Structures are given as structure tokens and as C-alpha cells.
Amino acid sequence: MSLDQPSQDKSADAVFAGRIDILYALGRHYLSLPFAVLCVPATLFAGNAPGVLPLMPLLLQMVVVIAAEQLTTAYKNRAPGSDPKFWARRYTFVSAISGATWGAASLFWFVWGSFPAQAYLCMAYLGMAATEFIARSAHRPAYIAHTIFALGPLIGLLLWQGGLYATMAAVLIVLFAAVLTSYCHGMARLLDESIYLRNENDMLIVRLQSEKILAVQARDSAEASAMAKSAFIANISHELRTPLNALLGMAQLLERADLPKQQSDHVKVMLQAGRGLQTLIDDVIALTRDDDSQLEDEDCDPMQAARAVARLLQPRAWEKRLQLTLSAASGLPRVAADPRKVRQVLLKLTDNALKFTERGLVDIRLDVTEDGQSVRFCVSDTGHGAPPEAAHLLFSPFSPGDVSYARKEQGAGLGLAVAKRVIEQAGGTIGFDSKPGEGAQFHFTLPVSGVAPSAAAARADVEGQQAAPGNLSLLFFLRAPAVGEALAHLVEPFGNSIERATSMAEAVERASKGDFDAIITGAGDADMLAAAPGVKAPLVAVLLRGDRAPAATDTVLRWPVEADQFYQALDQVCGDHSVLLNENGTMMAAAIDPVAFSTLEKSVGVKTLVEILQCYIVTAEQLTSALSNACSEEKWDDAARLAQDIVGAAGGLGLLAITQAARNFANAARSGENRHELRNAAQMVVGEHVRARQALIHLYPDVA
């Protein structure tokens, strides 16, 4: 026996138990009674001998139907964990009894010598057999038992009657029963596949819930670790920098003192080592700090920063007999970055160029990129360059490009890693070009003040800690289209209604007439909107680099805006909007539950979640199509089961609207609502499926 044999046996038992559930759920034993009722008058009219005997089988069948319904009730109230095989045997026994009552009835209803009456009886029995097939096809032994006992006596009577037509009628009944019996196996296989998929879906939901708990625990542990690291960095910054600054200060005083040459050389060595240690400590702290918040001063003159660096390093270049040059294009715009950070990065790149250049020159060049959105800083040298095999390590911590040369120059390999972190936090890019023996060229770009990054760069994942708000009515008036589209993308998939204004007049008109939960606008327009008459909705201002902060607004977001920041701001100004009213005034759920999707994305990853959603959309298309067909054919029981399957498929994924619509339809179908109401409810399910599919594709384009 293989190791996974017990799990396979357990799965097979679960599938069999699900099939028995369907067997009892499909049981409509009273549906065969109309065929029995029609047999009684036909027998009386054909036999020309009215009496009470033809009514006796009908009364007996009513008793059996009542007993079968009692069995169904007992199954529904069974104890948890009861053996499904026991209930299957009981159902088979009751089916045999039911079939026996039909077999005994044929002895009372069979009219000898009247083939029309016999043919009518055969039609009634075949209709009864087809009806019972629907109820008992989930368990073939039950249908076989019923069919043998029900049709066997009638077949025997026809053969005993003799004659061509009676014999052919008997053969027809046998063929009909054989065909339906053969269909039982196919029906059972289809049911087993459906039950297996449903059980797998339930197991997947349970596993996702357990992984959600583990992910939350891991998140809490990571947050605690990050807080501990931040506290450590703050303490080490104070404990190391303070005594080191004191040591360097005293060494500088000794350097200026009138000391003998030998002691003066010792002080110079101490100063050089101390400054190297200070640089190393600053780089380590800058590299490990998690403080990504934007600085207050985000407007820098690139030419002024480059001049400051050139003046600072010019003595170093003279000392090594190198030429340090600075060139810049005319009319350079200001960049959206902190001047201190710009000087820090430019200083590291230029210092590296001077360090690794023995002869020639180092050139600092500034120009505007072709699209006019960024300023490009370039530091070129005529040193030995970076070897190709070390190119991928240059921007990694503690990974100097040339180990031997770095050791000679006492480099720790942190400068470029720190520069990369600073530039990327400022919304720029950094890179290099180099040929061994021909020097190197390091360059970075920073966005121009007042220009928003592209929508692709601004787009944030919806996997943060703050759940996305739902069912809000928002007015967007942003003069930078890329910013508006990026922010709209963060809230549209979660059932939020968004209107866009293209001018100040249109924004004021819509804000004064519409009932909006919040208005998202630029920093330059926030004060004017706040002062406009009739504008009552809270204002959320988006502050681009170089903009002045507005005076009258509820909250200000500095661009680029992370998803968590945007959601938190909306939650603060809008409050709780967990439900949305549709056009009839009833509550309507959002298409997507943001908390559930955030949890799923953290638990399984984006790639796996996309695969799950693709499978769901295919399944939902099939279920909604089958639901529409069942409603058009007025098969309300089948439609209710399909709706329940939709609830199971969509509910575990956090698709609130379609889950609620399908659950409402299933309840309405079971309570016997009229056809018009049921069709409307079915259309609601299909419509919510379309809305959920569009929201999923909008949120995850790879799902399409």
C-alpha cells in the first residue's frame, strides 16, 4: 500500500458521502403519484367493471411515499459522522419497497385483452421510471432495485398476454429500463467529479485561512523586528558618533598644534582612519535605516549642488594631480529631491572616481533627459574601469567591484549601495557604463520639480496593511492625468464610484450638486475648492514635488502616494462606508472584498492568486450560463443548486456582490417565489458576475 493510500481512501469516502447527500436531496417521491392517479381511471374505463380494488395500490403507494419522506427527514437530522453506506442501504431498501408497490399495482391495473389499455399502462410506467431515474441516479443500486420490482411484473404480464404488440411492448420496457440503468454510471461519475471539485475548493479555503493566520503572525513578527532594528540604529548612531566626533575633534586640535614631525604624522594617520570609520558608520546607518518618509525640503538646484561637491573635492584632485571638471547644460530645471541627499550621492560617485583614477581627469556633467522629465547627473573618469564579471555586484552592499584594488583603497563596498537606495527613494534611477582600462561613467537621474512620475512607477500594490475602502463616491480633479489615473486604479476595483472633472468650474459645479464622500484634488486647487460655495465634501490634496502645501484641506498626501497612505487618508476623512445603496434604495455589496484579497495575495503570492482567479472565472462562466439556461427552462431546483455552487466558488475569494446575489436567488428559489422575481434575481447574479470579472481584470490584468 502506498503512503498516500489512506488519503485517497478518505477522499473516496468523502465523495461517496457527498453523492448520498445528493441522493436524499433529489428525492421527490411524490412526483410519481400523478402517474398512479392516471392509471386508476384508465383501468376502470377499460375494464368496464368499476370497483374499489384499483384504488388499493394507490393508497399503498401513498403510504410508501410518506415513509420515504420520513426517511429523508431522518437523514437530514442524522448524527454527525454517521456511516453514509448505512443510509445508502436504507434508501435502496425503501426504493425496492416502492418499486414492489408499483409491481403489485400492475396486477390490479392490467386489463386483459385490451391492448390500448395495456399500452396506456406501459406509458404511465415508463414515465414513472424516468421520474424515479432523476431521483435515484446518484446511487445505481437504488434505481436498479426500484426498476426491477416496478417493471418486472408488468413485463411478465405482457409476455403472458402474448401477441406481437404485447411482446414488443415488453421488449420496449426492458430496453428503456436498460438504457436508464446504463446512464446511472455516467451520472454518478459526473456527480463524483463535481463533489470532488467542491471538496477541493473547501480544502483550499481552509488552507488559505490557515495561511492567512500564519501570514499575519509573520507580519507581526516582522514589524516587531523592524521596530527593534530602528531602535538599535538610533542607539548605535548616538553611541558611536558622539565619541567618534570627540576623538576627531581632539585629533584636529593636535594636528594644528606645534608637534614634532613624527608625532604630527601619527596624528594624520589617526585623522585619516577616524574619518574613514566615520564614513563607514554613516553608510551603514543610511543603508539599514527603514525611514523612507519624504523630507520636507524637496526642491534642489542641481548646478549649485554640483558646484559644492566640486569645490569640496578639488583639493583631493590636486593632491593626486588629476583634473576635476564640471559642465552643465544651460537652463537646468530644479529637481524634486533633498539638496543634502543630492550632494551626498554626487559626493560618493565623484570621490569613487577620484579614488580609482591614477591619471587623467574626472568630469561631472549635468543635462536634461530627452523627455524633459528628469535631470541626468553623470560622473566620468579615466581610471581602470570595472571588470565585466563584477558589474552585477557594484550596487550590492559590501561588494566592491575589484576586490584587490578596493582593499588597497580601504573600501568597504557600501558607497554605491547607499547611493542606489537614496536615488530610488527620491524616485530616480542610477546606473553605470564601463570598459576595462578605459574608465567608467556613473550616472543617475532625478525628476524635475512639479512633474509627477509615470503611472507605472506610481502604481502601488494593494497588499499593504491598510485595507482598501469600499463603496465611496469620489470626485477627482487633478491637473496631472498620470496622478489621477494611478490613484483611481487604487480604489476603482473595490466598488467605489469615481467621477472626474477636467476644469475648476466643472469641479465646483459637481462638488456643489453631488453627494461625494471626498474630493481628490491637487495642492494648487485645494484652497479654491474649499472656498467655493456649496462644497461640503472633505478635501484630500495631493502635493507634487515643488508645490506649496494648501492651507484649507482635510489631509495632504505627498506624491508619490503609497496605497496604504491613500487608503488611510480616505478612511480618516470618509469614515465607514461598508455598504452601498443601489438605485432601488437597497444595500449592495462591493464587487471585491479588499481585506480578503489582501490576505490572499500575502498568503499565496500574486502569481498563484492570478491562476486561482483564472480558474474561478472559467468556472463562474459555466455556472452562470447553466443558471440562465435552468431559469429559461424553469428548472428552479437545479437553478438553486447552481446558485449555491456560485456561492461556494465566489465566497471563499471575497467576491461579495455575486456571493450575496447568488445566495438571495437560492433562498428565493427554495421559498417558492414567482417566476418573474426569480428571473430578475438570476439576472442580478449574472450582472454581478460581469461586474466582478471586470473588477478582477482591472485589478489583475494577467487574469484576462
Tens-place pLDDT, residues 214-252: 888 888 888 787 777 766 766 666 567 667 777 777 777
pLDDT of 3 higher than 60: no
Please give the model's pTM, rounded to 2 decimal places: 0.37
> Left if phi > 0, otherwise alpha if psi is -120 to 50, otherwise beta: which for 473?
beta
The per-residue pLDDT for 587 is 46
H/E element holding 11? helix 5-26
pLDDT band of residue 366 (cuts 50, 70, 90) is very high
Higher pLDDT, 674 or 229: 674
Would you tell me the crossing angle of helices 656-670 and 636-651 to the nearest 10 degrees? 150
Q: Domain 455-578 sits in which CATH superfamily? A: Response regulator (3.40.50.2300)
Coil, helix or strand at residue 591:
coil
pLDDT band of residue 584 (cuts 50, 70, 90) is very low
Strands 587-588 and 580-581: antiparallel
Fold of the 302-447 domain: Heat Shock Protein 90 (3.30.565)
| Contact partners, residue 608, CB within 8 Å, separation at least 6 | none
The per-residue pLDDT for 589 is 60
The per-residue pLDDT for 395 is 67
The per-residue pLDDT for 456 is 37
Measured distance CA(459)–CA(454) in Å, rounded: 9
Half-sphere exposure of 597 (CA within 13 A, CB side): 26
Q: What sign for the dihedral angle of Cα 333, 337, 341, 344?
A: negative
Convert the pLDDT of each residue in 277-289 to its tens digit: 776 676 666 655 5
3-state helix, strand, coil in the chain (%, to 5): 65, 10, 25
pLDDT band of residue 581 (cuts 50, 70, 90) is very low
The per-residue pLDDT for 462 is 37
Convert the pLDDT of each residue in 25-57 to its tens digit: 777 777 777 877 777 777 767 665 556 677 777
First-to-last alpha carbon distance for the chain, in angstroms, is 43
Of 219, 136, 121, the C-alpha closest to 181 is 136
Convert the pLDDT of each residue in 564-576 to its tens digit: 778 878 877 775 4
The per-residue pLDDT for 579 is 43
The per-residue pLDDT for 294 is 45
The per-residue pLDDT for 4 is 52
477-486, 603-612, 689-698: segment of lowest average pLDDT:
603-612
User: Can you give the residue ranges of every domain in the chain?
Assistant: 18-211, 302-447, 455-578, 594-703
pLDDT band of residue 675 (cuts 50, 70, 90) is confident
Looking at residue 346, the DSSP 8-state letter turns out to be H
Higher pLDDT, 369 or 644: 369
Q: What are phi and psi of 115, to 5 degrees?
A: -65, -35
- The three three-digit cell numbers of residue 638, written as one number: 437545479
The per-residue pLDDT for 652 is 62
The per-residue pLDDT for 230 is 65
The per-residue pLDDT for 458 is 39
The per-residue pLDDT for 593 is 67
Measured distance CA(212)–CA(583) in Å, rounded: 36
Measured distance CA(435)–CA(388) in Å, rounded: 8
| Contact partners, residue 426, CB within 8 Å, separation at least 6 | 336, 337, 338, 341, 446, 447
State the Cα angle at 536 between 530 and 542, rounded to 5°. 50
- DSSP count for the chain of H helices, then E strands: 22, 12
The per-residue pLDDT for 241 is 65
Domain 594-703 architecture: Up-down Bundle (1.20)
Measured distance CA(327)–CA(304) in Å, rounded: 12
Convert the pLDDT of each residue in 479-490 to its tens digit: 888 888 888 878
Please classify residue 442 by burial: count the beta carbons closer than 10 Å to its beta carbon, then call 0-12 exposed, 13-18 middle and 19+ buried: buried
The per-residue pLDDT for 181 is 81
> What percent of the chain is predicted at pLDDT more than 70?
79
State the Cα angle at 148 between 142 and 154, rounded to 5°. 140
pLDDT band of residue 476 (cuts 50, 70, 90) is very high
pLDDT of 378 higher than 90: yes
Helix residue spans in 358-461 (DSSP H): 403-408, 415-425, 455-458
Contact by Cβ (8 Å): 437, 389:
no
Convert the pLDDT of each residue in 79-100 to its tens digit: 777 788 888 788 888 888 888 8
pLDDT of 524 higher than 70: yes
The per-residue pLDDT for 452 is 46
When pLDDT is averaged across residues 520-541 and rounded to a whole number, the result is: 82
pLDDT band of residue 377 (cuts 50, 70, 90) is very high
pLDDT of 623 higher than 60: yes
> What percent of the chain is predicted at pLDDT more than 90?
2
Higher pLDDT, 438 or 475: 475
Contact by Cβ (8 Å): 519, 529:
yes
Of 497, 488, 340, the C-alpha closest to 426 is 340
392-401, 424-433, 535-544, 669-678: segment of lowest average pLDDT:
392-401
When pLDDT is averaged across residues 291-295 and rounded to a whole number, the result is: 46
| Number of neighbouring beta carbons within 10 Å of residue 117 | 19
